[in-house]
Amino acid sequence: MTQLRRATNGQRMTFYESLTPRQSQIVRYVIEGLNNEQIAAALSIVSGAVANHLTVIYDKLERTGLCAENRQLKRVELVRFFGDFFEQYTK
């Protein structure tokens, strides 16, 4: 497995600032461990909309150069690289 770099606070801030308010909400729910259907229910939207938002979020994450190509791993990496950052900066 490829070793991934650790995100710097500057990279985390750049990623965070690139998110829309809705994308930020979705990232928070991903970090909390909710699946797409649970996120959709919490936000009163359809799960397809969550999937679309996550595609855009993962594309933004990919541009940081800190995530793998594998979409399954991206959810894990979102939590790994940005979980503590979101707790710190979005309270």
Q: Would you state the pLDDT for residue 14?
A: 76
Q: Would you state the pLDDT for residue 39?
A: 95
Here the tokens at position 90 are 């979005």
Please give the mean pLDDT across all residues of the chain: 77
The yes/no answer on whether domain 9-86 falls in CATH 1.10.10.10 is yes
Backbone angles phi, psi at 46, to 5 degrees: -80, 155
Read off the DSSP letter of residue 67.
S
Give the mean model confidence (pLDDT) for residues 18-35.
Answer: 89
**pLDDT tops 90 at residue 23:** yes
User: Of the ranges 28-37, 54-63, 73-82, which is most confident?
Assistant: 28-37
